[in-house]
Amino acid sequence: MKSPGELARERARNRADTIRHARWEAEMVKRLGARWFEARDKWLAEALEADREAWRDPAVRKALIKAILATDKTKKTRRTSSNA
């Protein structure tokens, strides 16, 4: 389990990454206008199709389900321990 200091540093890093990404995306919108949204939408559709293709593989699907369950368990544990 991470210490409170580690969690605070990780949250600060995540916040900084989110802000950096938002600034980059705003710059792309300024530069490209509507073309940016068209390119982004095309990329997202292609990524979704690639994911769907990967999910057809039983090993990938099993690993994904295992990861989701582990994440859910961690979140539940964190919520339970923070409410105590």
Per-residue confidence of the chain (84 residues) as pLDDT tens digits? 788 889 899 999 999 999 999 999 999 999 999 999 999 999 999 999 999 999 999 999 999 999 999 988 887 776 676 665
What is the predicted pLDDT for the residue at 12? 95
Enumerate the H helices of 33-57 as residue ranges: 34-55
What is the predicted pLDDT for the residue at 1? 74
pTM over 0.95: no
Q: What is d(CA 71, CA 38) in angstroms, rounded to the nearest whole number?
A: 33
- In the block, tokens 């990404």 appear at 21
What is the predicted pLDDT for the residue at 33? 96
Does residue 20 contact residue 26 with C-beta atoms inside 8 Å?
no
The alpha carbons of the chain give a radius of gyration, in whole angstroms, of 18
What is the predicted pLDDT for the residue at 83? 61
